[in-house]
Structure 1
Amino acid sequence: MTSDLEGFAPSAGARPPRARLDSDAPALDLDGTWRFRYLPEVPADHDGFADPGLDDSGWDEFPVPSHWQLHGYGAPAYTNVHYPFPVDPPFVPDENPTGEYRRTFDLPPDWPEGGAVLRFDGADSFLRVWLNGTELGFSTGSRLVAEFDAGHLLRPGRNVLAARVHQWSAASYLEDQDMWWLSGLFRGVTLQHRPAEGIEDLTVVAGYDHTTGTGTLRVDTPGSAPVRIDLPELGLHGAATGTVHEVGPVEPWSAESPRLYAAEAASAGERVRLRIGFRSVAVENGRLMANGRPLLLRGVNRHEWHPDHGRAVPPETMRADVLAMKQHNVDAVRTSHYPPHPSFLDLCDELGLWVVDECDLETHGFEAVEWRDNPSDDPRWREAYLDRIRRTVARDRNHPSVIMWSLGNEAGRGENLRAMADWVHEHDPTRPVHYEGDPDSSYVDVYSRMYAPHAEVEEIGRCGEPATEDPSADAHRRGLPFVLCEYAHAMGAGPGGLAEYQRLFERYPRLAGGFVWEWFDHGIRRREDDGTEWFAYGGDFGEVLHDGSFVADGLVLPDRAPSPGLTALAATFAPVRVEVDAGAGVVRAENLRTFADTSDLAVHWEAAEEGVVLERGTLPVPVLAPGERSETELPQVRGAAVGQVWMTVSVRAARDLPWAEEGHEVAWGQGLLTEAEPGPEPAAHHPVTEGRHVRLGPGVFDARTGRLLEVAGLGAEGVRLGVWRAPTDNDEGTHGFPLAPFWRAVGLDRMVERRRSVEAGHEALQLRTRLAPAARDLGLEVSYRWSAAGSTLWLDLEARAVGEWPCPLPRVGLDLALPGFLDTVEWFGRGPGEAFRDMDQGVRVGRFTDTVAGLQTPYLRPQENGVRLGTRWLELRGADGAGLRIRDGGGAGEGFAFTARRWDDHALDAARHPHELAAEDRLHLRLDADHHGSGSASCGPGVLPEHQLTPGTHRLRVGFSRLPG
């Protein structure tokens, strides 16, 4: 048995792969409570554990499906690239945790005689099966179906099913997929009767001719037993298999309009229900086409994940995930890096997502040894490679949502990959083949890259990528559509640059879009004795080798809460583009869909002054065909009286949709209509020296240092220029270009200030300082000019960078600490969520209210978060309503950025998890003139030049006044 574990054969005794059929044949769900025994090593022999008469009453009770590491047996471990065992293929360590499972079940009294199949939908990583004491065989391929003939061993009444699962095997070298290493029977187990004259397998090919609107249907079944097809809606009754039938006209399937037709295949012994979607996918003239039209994928990568269950994802959670994708304008999924649970593809068929179905294959850990002995080019592994792609295609080929087969991920180069592609081209020529890891692209149908920066993507769009040594390979590659199979790494705060990528995709026909990495943060929920919940990442389980929080790289937080990045993505992927042009007096709308018009959408408008709604209504935008544009006259709205009047145009579902309720917003746009003229300037105050203090309007200062001590009756501490922020994952640049090490090397986290002058003049108190780090001759010359008019204390802050700076600034603004009782935050500016300057398309101008705690984004690894942009005014209040008002005085009307927290940036930087942050009895407030963008450098390009904060001269003007209780 050990030789099988460390052998090249993918299976023995397993049935040939086939489609998953919705059959009327009797089936028995074997999920539920099993008996379980955990062994730290592989037992020397059978050990009698599979004997039906074994007394297993002393074994543990254990849920199937699940992972044993999430139930206290062993521990999860996370690595991105490196194998957590020596690279010594095909051998694995002696310390090979093994789970032994036993399940007793009774056949129903009416269970028919004859054949039966035991199906295991997923077992990580090596499965061996016994029924009633007889071994059925073994299988590898953790995320692939394994079936075994079982009918000849079934008994009336009591039956005993036993399975042994090993954590490590030779197959583990093919499954290094940047995720938690978790083991066990993590997908369902089913016993299904196989009728003597049943439908053993079935292949549906449903094409669509966009020139005629007709569909073609061919259903193939193995063997000679007659099978007939009924598709009543299209007038097909008793149609023969193996023949192409022309039907229609038909409504084609697409992610925008996922039209499915109910059909049935029937033999003498079995009926199989089908959901058929007519559609065509092709590569034509260097473009990816669907139903005769160019396709632009607005996609995400999706691992399977649940914070409590790992990759054993409940069905209701899968549905919620697909609904969330649709509601955030995602229309495509790459199933990184293995075929998903088949129910997920059912949902994609039903609700509409284009799917790149990826094979269960990755050998990334060989990169660490310069790809020596990589299985991809070793003929001994060829059958294992072919077995994996056969099983992927066989199971999923009848899903209309699947438009492309991916051979796997980051498995280097080699002839085994070519053999996989050749097999797919022969057995399913209706779908293109994808693989990113071989840049020659000689055996695939699309050119694919990861994390190519914007400039390179533009060159590829122009077919101007660099030449290689093989002109014929270059010519082939340049004739292929381009897909970014991973881009915009959504780790922590970010990603930035989404809108710029999308503009490139829309500009160049060769570019077919791509898939943001990725959908989920893979945090594992933990609970402290006091009930505190938090989410663990790599290293939190004592792993010797791990990749830390790199597993937390999703648009959705582990508890399924959308991140600010997902808000930005939804705006980027919006199916309708809206522009409010107040100068021209029009609203421009463009339908960015490929197939559907806008008859399912309604356009609403709202005019608000300082966030208070003045008027609202519907806008008579005509129904737009795909690609069509319109201009509609703006409604007449009264002018501003006290502030800014903004028009917001919202495109919403006009009726309940399968994936959203009526009123769900799919797109929006905003424009500034009018702004009130400023009123007369109130009387100015003059600085008054009172002993050690200087009083200026509502401000009190230290006469010697010029520091603000009190504002509007509130104590103020630490008031000075700030440039530091707790670095984000993108700032740290784990696999991209890191900025945070430069910031720390320069000393931006330890700046000290030298007072140069304090002047209490007739009109203002002016403090001049130099802010600089130890051991460096660079710094910032800072001027604080305080003045007062009426009830407002004004600060004119100017910072001028001097010396030679080797890096951008993280941010520049004012730091101060205020009394902790201030907890309610209201502002007029951009929100409601956080944003950086290169991912601000998801936030809008309005009036918003939150608590200080509510402003924080609980990224798994604490980092810069909670920044609100474009603030015109900000109010901080206590329980009695009293507090502080801060307003922008910059003149340009674009506002300042603010953050408000219960801890300072250094505490935020030092914490490993959010629950480790201890709230202080102070409010740490930052008012920023500007800040550096987010980018995607955690595993991708950094911040684009236009979003970098280059050291120079930076100014901020803000006013402080008291809010009465």
Structure 2
Amino acid sequence: MFNLHYLADPKRIHENRESSRSYYLPYAPTDDDDISSRVLSLNGLWQFRYFSSHLAVEREHFFDETFWQNSNSISVPSNWQMEGYGIPHYTNIQYPFPINPPYTFSDIPVGVYRCEFLCQPQEMKQFIRFEGIDNCFALYLNGKYVGFSKGSRNPAEFDVTNYIKKGSNQLVVEVFQWSDSSYIEDQDMWWLSGIFRDVNLISRPQECIWDYQIQTSFDSNYENGYLTINFPELHGEELICDISLEKESLVFQKTVVINNGNRHFSFPVASPEKWTAETPELYRLTLSTAEEKIVQEIGFREVAVLDNQICINGKPILFKGINHHEFHETKGRALPKGFLEEEIQLIKQAHFNAIRAAHYPHCPEFYQLCDRYGLYVMDEADLECHGMGSTGNKNHLSSNQEWEQAYLDRMKQMVERDKNYTSIVIWSVGNESGNGSNHEMMIRWCRKKDPTRLIHHEGESRDCISEKDGRYFQDVQHADFNSRMYATLEELQDVVDNPKITKPYILCEYGHAMGNGPGSLKEYWEMFYKESQLQGGFLWEWKDQGIKAKREGHLTYLYGGDFGDSPNDYNFVLDGLITPDLQPSPSYFDIQRQQEPIDIDFSQFETGKIIFYNRNQFRNMLGVKCRFELKQDQEVVSEEIISVDLPHEKSIEVALPSSLLKEKKGNLLKVTLFDYQNEDSFKLPKIIASIPIEQAVFPEQVQDSFKFKLIQDDAKKLLLQNRKIYLTVDKSTGKWQLEDETHKPYLTSPKSIFWRPTTDNDFISAKMWREYGVDRMISNLMSCSISVNDSEKLQLTLNEQIGPAGKFWHINQTTKITFFKDGRVVYEIFGSPINHYPVTVPRIGLVWQLNKKFENTCWSGKGPLETYADTGNGSYGDVFSRMTDNLSFQYLYPQESGNHHQTKWVTFETVAQVAIKFQGADTFDFSVHPYSVEAIDSAQHIHELRQDDHYYLYIDYQQHGIGSRSCGPDVLDKYQLHLQNYHYQFEIRVKGAKSSES
């Protein structure tokens, strides 16, 4: 029977668990590679009972039918909270229990599982292998206790040969939600419990290979390779093993004898095709003994620090990395078949070449996909005790000898299971667990076990930073390279300039992608490309971890606190580039642009040339199709497609096609590269760039249809008509609107606005803005004067004082509105802040109410995605058309979205071809929403938003940048909207609908 005292004993890590081994599924000699007759999957429906306390579980009755009378069915794999038992609980740093290691709760929830299966042992040894159970579990088979294990994201394998019987067998697994190991599994994610990865019954011959270790290397010229295979553990005294290596054909086949004195074998391989993230060339290795075979995909790859740079196959690389959690919107950490491959394809399509298994070893399929698709992996031990920082000693556990073996077990489990995956180039000792003697022991063991890979420890790097001035005073001494989270650009420059720092430097986390953002990715990548010591980073993070649910009749996504879980860290779990259902956010396309393998340089454009640079370090890009489109606004006036070969790490000058140079028209050249990776099983994205050829001159071909006729012009009112559209002006207040033939509003008079729904990254700034009252500005009209300069126009001058109640500051704003009798309306706005005003504001602009009949939007500027001052580099200049309802991205936590920065003009049009066009004297920002600022700002979930019967149209002078301050640097100064004197101007034109009367 399992000893419950082990739940609070960090020295008791497992009992009767087999020694760790590399991951593989053995095959019978005659099996095809697709299906193994030696492996019986126990996945499926199991019987299940949930107990709120481990003290209420009658373990002695596990094999009595009375115990299971009130049981239900549950899917394995799954997390029981996602199946309706207990509640999901989200915390980032804080522990959900009182901090008193090794104790958690006096009542620990338990899930008891039962599975019945048939078995015909046939004199084979029988093993049950669990790939992942959260948090701690005890195993029983046919009425007998087998053993237990801790380590949620690590496998546990048990020899059940002496417990199993021929015919029907009963397997019982008792899973405990909490144990002492919860203290070192404090990752930023949902606390979810249960059997969440595969369960297999594995039949093995009495004599077999238990473990093997594959290593590859090259000669000094990286021309010829070596394949080394070690066999650290056998079942049996001696084995004859046939070793074969194949690609399209057989490379070699050797027969070796493995015994205690002969376990190390090395084979030369002439000119192997090398594995890199750009060229993921894999070979098929087969290890065959008399009664069993093992098949492994391997690649020839070498990682080392050479001349103070991390190199793959002798070349310095740049990590274009992403942090990845295992999560599914309805299944938690039990990932459905095919889901991971969808994710990996999306990751590759964004030009990522590296991935950090944050913050625990992932399921085996993950590494197989990274091998095949080509991603450099930082594999991370299932170790984090971030919450210990609140004790005042972040190293309380990491330097505690009582926890030494628990730490070491997590390193061993990861390295032993994953050591044969080619894609893994870095071992990480864990995340946010301080820096102590237990980490040093992990590193020493790892170096001895696997000297062929690098070791990462951000906690050690953090301890190399002076508390006095924030500068590094030395390199890391135990890890292989320096690492940092969320460094500012200034801090990165200090690293480059610091003579004490010579080891490579990466950002294991940067660019916090929470909600709208992150900003300034362009600046980070300019520095990464420029400074060789800075070898890239891993963006935080891949996917929002929102749980899909129905609330108030609407589908929505839930986060911390929504299940009554307390304490919680609210919506901090929604911080990814894509949504839980794999929809890319605008920031996905932002980072995609920064990481593109081909750079397009227009600096020689005036000489009729464009320069393409292939940033790839290993892969030539041959037969790249390059499409040139010369455009005059929405019209393509000339188009040419050529084919280009781009050698890796080379620049190629390409002459512009002569047909384009002969054209007299055209104000924009759009260059698109595509079809350069046809051989892949998925399509990489097009690369698009554009350059304005001259200052755009926008045609006024609809000018005739703008003509209005005067209906009324007296002391109170001006009324103009264009077919079925009316323009009315109240001369006493300056308010005006466009109306349809029934005098219902098309566009209402605007109000000044300085607030935006706060983004997650507004975090710090929003607090300051609210303290200054920017969210509650009141406009007082001080005067309204009328000027009639001639018979063709009327000018209103509005003088306003705009400021918050109870605060000693305001803005003096003068708005000049000129109404031309041909229907044009020209706005010119001057503003000047007075007294103790804030340094920055979220926006300066106007908000209008726009009739929902204007369902089509067309604009000239950056697009088609949302753009802000420091985001939107995934967009490009052109003329774009979209449905008005589709101009914004729906973030799971409602916030500012959908802005279109650097717009030249925008037109809104109805089906009946009524059109309203805004054109700026300079570029401006615009956005459209079916909700008010107040509604978005007060909503906490998307299901709480209810559309109004009109759109809210924002025409902004400017908006404040985005930044990544939710967990990183603030908006760069050049992208901040400083409150100072401002002046902007734009024109509105209206085109009425055609009718039979006109």
Flag whether TM exceeds 0.5 (same fold).
Answer: yes
Deviation at 1:148, TM superposition (A): 0.6
**Counterparts of 2:699 and 2:533, CA distance in 1:** 55
Cα 1:944/1:265, change in 2 over 3 Å: same
Residues 588, 631 of structure 1: 8 Å contact kept: yes
Match of 2:469 in 1: none
Q: 1:227 aligns with which of 241, 245, 256?
A: 241
Cα 1:635/1:94, change in 2 over 3 Å: farther
Q: 1:722 aligns with which of 753, 766, 769?
A: 753
Cα 1:239/1:636, change in 2 over 3 Å: farther
Cα 1:226/1:52, change in 2 over 3 Å: farther
Pairs within 5 Å for 1:764-843: 764-789=795-820, 790-843=822-875
Pairs within 5 Å for 1:464-475: 475=500
After superposition, the C-alpha distances for 1:490-527 in whole angstroms (9 at most, x for unaligned) are 00000101111111111111111000000010000002
Deviation at 1:784, TM superposition (A): 1.8
Unaligned stretches of 5+ in structure 1?
465-474, 733-737
Deviation at 1:666, TM superposition (A): 4.3
Name the amino acid aligned to 2:717.
Answer: H
Name the amino acid aligned to 2:240.
Answer: P
Deviation at 1:844, TM superposition (A): 1.7
Match of 2:942 in 1: 914
Cα 1:378/1:655, change in 2 over 3 Å: closer
Cα 1:838/1:400, change in 2 over 3 Å: same
**Counterparts of 1:702 and 1:615, CA distance in 2:** 48
Cα 1:918/1:685, change in 2 over 3 Å: closer
Match of 2:689 in 1: 669
Name the amino acid aligned to 1:214.
Answer: N
Name the amino acid aligned to 2:807.
Answer: R
Match of 2:254 in 1: 238
**Counterparts of 1:915 and 1:174, CA distance in 2:** 36
Q: 2:636 aligns with which of 595, 613, 628?
A: 613
1:852 and 2:880 equivalent? no
The secondary structure found in structure 1 opposite 2:300 is coil
Deviation at 1:818, TM superposition (A): 2.2
1:217 and 2:227 equivalent? yes
Residues 600, 654 of structure 1: 8 Å contact kept: yes
Q: 1:862 aligns with which of 885, 888, 894?
A: 894
Identity of aligned residues (%): 32
After superposition, the C-alpha distances for 1:347-390 in whole angstroms (9 at most, x for unaligned) are 00000111000000000010112126721110011101111100
**Counterparts of 1:178 and 1:483, CA distance in 2:** 21
Match of 2:792 in 1: none
Name the amino acid aligned to 2:971.
Answer: V
Match of 1:585 in 2: 608
Residues 868, 898 of structure 1: 8 Å contact kept: yes
**Counterparts of 1:679 and 1:243, CA distance in 2:** 75
Match of 2:156 in 1: 146
Q: 1:23 aligns with which of 16, 22, 26?
A: 26
After superposition, the C-alpha distances for 1:899-940 in whole angstroms (9 at most, x for unaligned) are 111111111100011111111112110011211111000000
Residues 197, 270 of structure 1: 8 Å contact kept: no
Deviation at 1:668, TM superposition (A): 2.3
After superposition, the C-alpha distances for 1:311-369 in whole angstroms (9 at most, x for unaligned) are 11123010000000011111110111001111011000000111000000000010112
Cα 1:404/1:47, change in 2 over 3 Å: same
Deviation at 1:711, TM superposition (A): 6.6
Cα 1:814/1:640, change in 2 over 3 Å: farther
**Counterparts of 1:811 and 1:659, CA distance in 2:** 45
After superposition, the C-alpha distances for 1:221-270 in whole angstroms (9 at most, x for unaligned) are 12442323111446321154612211120111000110001121112221
Match of 1:250 in 2: 272
Residues 354, 403 of structure 1: 8 Å contact kept: yes
Match of 1:955 in 2: 983
1:207 and 2:231 equivalent? no
Deviation at 1:161, TM superposition (A): 0.8
Cα 1:184/1:362, change in 2 over 3 Å: same
1:755 and 2:781 equivalent? yes
Deviation at 1:634, TM superposition (A): 5.2
Cα 1:49/1:691, change in 2 over 3 Å: farther
Match of 2:115 in 1: 103
**Counterparts of 1:372 and 1:487, CA distance in 2:** 22
Deviation at 1:823, TM superposition (A): 2.7
More off after superposition, 862-871 vs 578-587: 578-587
Q: 1:72 aligns with which of 81, 84, 89?
A: 84
The secondary structure found in structure 2 opposite 1:826 is strand
After superposition, the C-alpha distances for 1:652-693 in whole angstroms (9 at most, x for unaligned) are 2335243523xx434221111245657799999999852422
Cα 1:657/1:323, change in 2 over 3 Å: farther
Pairs within 5 Å for 1:534-553: 534-553=556-575
Name the amino acid aligned to 1:204.
Answer: I
Cα 1:636/1:137, change in 2 over 3 Å: same
Name the amino acid aligned to 1:585.
Answer: G
Match of 2:44 in 1: 32
Pairs within 5 Å for 1:104-123: 104-107=116-119, 109=120, 111-123=121-133
Pairs within 5 Å for 1:863-942: 863-878=895-910, 880-890=911-921, 892=922, 895-942=923-970
Match of 1:943 in 2: 971
After superposition, the C-alpha distances for 1:23-56 in whole angstroms (9 at most, x for unaligned) are 2040100000000000000036652343276663
The secondary structure found in structure 1 opposite 2:872 is coil
More off after superposition, 185-194 vs 791-800: 791-800
Residues 222, 314 of structure 2: 8 Å contact kept: no
Name the amino acid aligned to 1:462.
Answer: D
**Counterparts of 1:729 and 1:217, CA distance in 2:** 50
Residues 112, 193 of structure 1: 8 Å contact kept: no
Pairs within 5 Å for 1:514-533: 514-528=537-551, 530=553, 532-533=554-555
The secondary structure found in structure 1 opposite 2:507 is strand
Residues 640, 676 of structure 1: 8 Å contact kept: no
Residues 726, 906 of structure 1: 8 Å contact kept: yes
Q: CA RMSD in A?
A: 2.3
Match of 1:169 in 2: 179
1:2 and 2:33 equivalent? no
The secondary structure found in structure 2 opposite 1:889 is strand
**Counterparts of 2:681 and 2:69, CA distance in 1:** 46
Deviation at 1:57, TM superposition (A): 5.0
State the number of aligned residues: 938
Match of 1:86 in 2: 98
Name the amino acid aligned to 1:226.
Answer: I
The secondary structure found in structure 2 opposite 1:433 is strand
Residues 487, 516 of structure 1: 8 Å contact kept: yes
The secondary structure found in structure 1 opposite 2:328 is coil
Cα 1:493/1:679, change in 2 over 3 Å: closer
**Counterparts of 1:770 and 1:640, CA distance in 2:** 52
The secondary structure found in structure 1 opposite 2:208 is coil
Cα 1:792/1:407, change in 2 over 3 Å: same
After superposition, the C-alpha distances for 1:394-453 in whole angstroms (9 at most, x for unaligned) are 111101100000000000121001100111111101011001112232211110110011
Cα 1:834/1:639, change in 2 over 3 Å: farther
Match of 1:454 in 2: 489
After superposition, the C-alpha distances for 1:621-678 in whole angstroms (9 at most, x for unaligned) are 3423224343433554378989x632121222335243523xx434221111245657
**Counterparts of 1:571 and 1:535, CA distance in 2:** 28
1:573 and 2:595 equivalent? yes
TM-score, normalization by structure 2 = 0.90
Name the amino acid aligned to 1:172.
Answer: S
**Counterparts of 1:846 and 1:677, CA distance in 2:** 13
Match of 1:735 in 2: none
Deviation at 1:147, TM superposition (A): 0.6
Residues 689, 703 of structure 1: 8 Å contact kept: no
Match of 1:652 in 2: 674
Match of 1:746 in 2: 772
Residues 25, 39 of structure 2: 8 Å contact kept: no
Name the amino acid aligned to 1:692.
Answer: K
